[in-house]
């Protein structure tokens, strides 16, 4: 028996071209969570996306993206423009080294938050490229545990919606095969929260997974009282009951309640997420690859969470997180949002409560030409091969 080395190229590939594109993708309906009701933020009208496309000397291509809500889109684009030239001439396979190189290039503004969020677009494009080169879906390149992931809908359950509207949208989600429903709470009138959850639970019946999301607007006392009042509804989890940085508060709450407690979406580095994992402060880890700096740092924390047996339910961007969730050992969920669908030519298939991992190579997405209409800035570095 001889090994087939025909395809093993000894020549190192090089990154020769990077295209960056800043896009403001409008939402069909403006939405409000508890941060709007407490006056801290305005209703959300669009998503600011930063797309990165990378090409190599040998003709390989990868696409990744990051995003921000309400502020920071132009700053992410500006920072990505400053660091993208550091990729030119580099071997696209050395993703961990390139992540460090980009972080060091921008070390003066820190290794968390806006700078690493900009790097996330480039990092994700490198992972997409590597998986495309291997002709594998990203989940398979990482080492998959499953071909589909349980999914729930969030976009129908915001606070500006009446309870009738939430129930109607929940029914439509379940009819199309989505496996659970999340609704926003955190209304200043706590009784109103409870009556809305009561109505939705009654309408859905006992067997449909139902989650609530407080978007950080309770203090510890309120979270404990509301958490206890909500136990009767057999919720899948209570999300962001407290300030995103209150590790001890989350630890106390998750120890006291039967209902699982989750957080992580607002954390903007792997270290910040690690603080929760090391302390065992949550039951459901909900970090977000674009927000923590890309697929590379996301996976580092996910592997720590695996050793603690945590549930993984990454926040938003199902287009990326579906692959990362499929490669996680324990119970996992992806969040269904149709918001980003206009950016892509492909749609994710949903069946029997699960989102199916696409069998296309990489993330499995190509950019739709209508993105041009929402593009606010673009730039190129290097030369196309
Ligand atoms: Mg949330």
Residues bordering ligand 1, an ion, CB closer than 5 Å: 213
- Residues 36 and 234: their CA atoms lie apart, in Å, by 27
Query: Residue 13 CB: number of other CB atoms within 10 A?
Result: 17
Q: Are 18 and 87 in contact (CB under 8 A)?
A: yes
6 CB contacts (<8 Å, ≥6 apart)?
A: none
Q: Which two tokens stand for residue 260?
A: 């699982």
Average pLDDT over residues 85-109: 97
Cα of 241 vs its chain's centroid, Å: 19
Among 19, 140, 169, 184, which one carries the catalytic annotation? Answer: 184
Query: What is the DSSP annotation of 181-195?
Result: EEEE---SSHHHHHH
Ramachandran sector of residue 264 (left: φ over 0; alpha: ψ -120 to 50; beta: rest): left
158 CB contacts (<8 Å, ≥6 apart)?
A: 31, 32, 33, 184
Query: Residue 215 CB: number of other CB atoms within 10 A?
Result: 24
Among 19, 187, 315, 354, which one carries the catalytic annotation? Answer: 315
- Residues 220 and 224: their CA atoms lie apart, in Å, by 6
Give residue 202 CA to ligand 1 midpoint distance, Å: 23
Average pLDDT over residues 151-176: 94
Average pLDDT over residues 190-196: 97
Domain with CATH 3.20.20.120 in the chain: 139-356
Give residue 339 CA to ligand 1 midpoint distance, Å: 15
Q: Which two tokens stand for residue 30?
A: 């403006």
Task: Please identify, in words, the CATH class of the domain defined by 15-135+369-382.
Answer: alpha beta
* Position 325 pLDDT exceeds 60: yes
Give residue 1 CA to ligand 1 midpoint distance, Å: 54
315 is catalytic: yes
- Per-residue pLDDT at 7: 53
Helix axes 163-175, 190-204, angle to 10 degrees: 30
Give residue 320 CA to ligand 1 midpoint distance, Å: 17
* Position 6 pLDDT exceeds 80: no
Q: Which two tokens stand for residue 383?
A: 């030369």
- Residues 227 and 195: their CA atoms lie apart, in Å, by 14
Residues β-bridged to residue 213: 184, 239
Average pLDDT over residues 18-22: 98
Give residue 9 CA to ligand 1 midpoint distance, Å: 45
Which helix (H) or strand (E) segment holds residue 150: the answer is: strand 148-153
- Per DSSP, the three-state class of 59 is coil
Question: Is the whole model's pTM more than 0.75, yes or no?
Answer: yes
Segment 283-301, tens digit of pLDDT = 999 999 999 999 999 999 9
Q: Sorting pLDDT into bands at 50, 70 and 90, what band is 3?
A: low
Give residue 91 CA to ligand 1 midpoint distance, Å: 36
Give residue 265 CA to ligand 1 midpoint distance, Å: 7
Give residue 359 CA to ligand 1 midpoint distance, Å: 28
- Per-residue pLDDT at 9: 58
- Per-residue pLDDT at 155: 87
Task: Please identify, in words, the CATH class of the domain defined by 139-356.
Answer: alpha beta
Give residue 349 CA to ligand 1 midpoint distance, Å: 23
Q: Which two tokens stand for residue 209?
A: 């997974």
Average pLDDT over residues 346-375: 98
Give residue 19 CA to ligand 1 midpoint distance, Å: 31
- Per-residue pLDDT at 38: 87
Domain with CATH 3.30.390.10 in the chain: 15-135+369-382
Query: Residue 373 CB: number of other CB atoms within 10 A?
Result: 9
Average pLDDT over residues 243-247: 98
Q: Name the least confident of 3-17, 89-103, 254-268, 320-334.
A: 3-17
* Position 1 pLDDT exceeds 50: no
* Position 4 pLDDT exceeds 60: no
Give residue 264 CA to ligand 1 midpoint distance, Å: 9
287 is catalytic: no
Average pLDDT over residues 149-156: 94
- Per-residue pLDDT at 307: 96
Q: What are the phi and psi torsion angles at 79 (to 5°)?
A: -65, -40
Give residue 83 CA to ligand 1 midpoint distance, Å: 30
Query: What is the DSSP annotation of 227-266?
Result: HHHHGGG--SEEE--S-TT-HHHHHHHHHH-SS-EEE-TT
């Amino acid at each position: 028996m001889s090994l087939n080395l025909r395809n093993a190229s000894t020549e190192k590939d090089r990154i020769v071209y990077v295209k960056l594109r800043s896009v403001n993708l409008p939402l069909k309906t403006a939405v409000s969570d508890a941060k709007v009701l407490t006056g801290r933020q305005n209703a959300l009208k669009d998503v600011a996306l930063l797309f990165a496309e990378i090409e190599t000397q040998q003709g390989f291509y990868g696409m990744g993206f990051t995003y921000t809500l309400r502020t920071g889109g132009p700053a992410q684009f500006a920072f990505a423009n400053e660091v993208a030239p550091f990729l030119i001439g580099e071997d696209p396979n050395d993703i961990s080294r390139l992540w460090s190189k980009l972080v060091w290039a921008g070390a003066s503004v820190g290794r968390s938050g806006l700078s690493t969020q900009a790097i996330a677009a480039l990092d994700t494009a490198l992972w997409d490229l590597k998986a495309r080169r291997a002709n594998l879906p990203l989940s398979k390149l990482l080492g998959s545990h499953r071909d589909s992931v349980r999914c729930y809908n969030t976009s129908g359950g915001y606070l500006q919606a009446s309870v009738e509207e939430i129930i109607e949208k929940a029914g439509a989600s379940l009819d199309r095969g989505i496996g659970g429903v999340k609704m926003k709470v955190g209304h200043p009138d706590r009784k109103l929260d409870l009556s809305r959850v009561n109505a939705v639970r009654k309408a859905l019946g006992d067997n449909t997974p139902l989650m609530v999301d407080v978007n950080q607007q309770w203090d510890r006392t309120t979270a404990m009282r509301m958490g206890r009042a909500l136990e009767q509804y057999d919720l899948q989890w209570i999300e962001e009951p407290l300030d995103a940085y209150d590790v001890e508060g989350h630890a106390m709450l998750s120890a006291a309640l039967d209902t699982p407690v989750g957080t992580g979406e607002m954390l903007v580095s792997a270290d910040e997420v690690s603080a929760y994992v090391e302390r065992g402060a949550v039951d459901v880890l909900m970090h977000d690859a674009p927000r923590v700096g890309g697929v590379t740092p996301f996976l580092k924390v996910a592997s720590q969470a695996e050793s603690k047996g945590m549930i993984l339910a990454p926040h938003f961007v199902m287009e990326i997180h579906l692959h990362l969730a499929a490669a996680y050992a324990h119970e996992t969920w992806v969040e269904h949002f149709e918001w980003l669908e206009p950016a892509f030519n492909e749609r994710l298939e949903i069946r029997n409560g699960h989102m199916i991992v696409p069998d296309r190579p990489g993330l499995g997405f190509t950019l739709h030409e209508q993105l041009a209409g929402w593009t606010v800035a673009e730039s190129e570095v290097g030369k196309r091969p």
